[in-house]
Homo-oligomer: A and B are copies of this chain.
Amino acid sequence: MTGTLYGIGTGPGDPELVTRKAWRLVQEADVIAYPSAEGGDSFARSIMADAIKPDAIEIEMPVPMVSGRAPAQAIYDDGAAAIRDHLSAGRDVVVLCEGDPLFYGSFMYILARLRDDFPTQIIPGVTSMTACAAAHNHALVARNDVLTVLPGTLDNDVMLDRIKASEAVVIMKIGRHLGRIRDLLSTQGLAQQALYVSHASLPHEKALPLSNAPDTAPYFSMILLYKGQDPWI
Residues of A within 8 A of B (CB): 9, 11-12, 14-21, 23-24, 100-105, 108, 111-112, 115, 120, 122-127, 130-131, 133-134, 137-151, 153-154, 161-162, 165-166, 173, 201, 231-233
Query: In the complex, what distance in Å separates the CA atom of A133 from the CA atom of B122?
Result: 9
Shortest Cβ gap from A15 to chain B (Å): 8
Q: In the complex, which of the residues B17, B103, B149, B166 contacts A19, with contact meaning CB atoms closer than 8 Å?
A: B17
Could you list 28 examples of A-B contacts with CB < 8 Å? A16-B21, A16-B24, A18-B20, A19-B126, A20-B20, A20-B23, A100-B133, A100-B140, A102-B134, A104-B141, A104-B143, A104-B145, A105-B142, A111-B232, A112-B233, A120-B137, A124-B126, A124-B127, A126-B126, A127-B130, A141-B149, A144-B153, A144-B173, A145-B151, A146-B149, A148-B162, A148-B166, A149-B149
Contact status B108-A142, CB under 8 Å: yes
Query: In the complex, what distance in Å separates the CA atom of A222 from the CA atom of B87?
Result: 32
Enumerate the 8 nearest inter-chain pairs by beta-carbon distance, A residue then B residue, closest first.
A112-B232, A16-B21, A122-B134, A147-B149, A124-B130, A102-B133, A144-B151, A100-B130
Shortest Cβ gap from A167 to chain B (Å): 10
Which residue of B is nearest A231, CB measured?
B108
A148-B166, A161-B165, A231-B108 known; A141-B103 Cβ under 8 A: yes
Contact status A11-B19, CB under 8 Å: yes
Identical copies in the complex: 2
Shortest Cβ gap from A136 to chain B (Å): 9
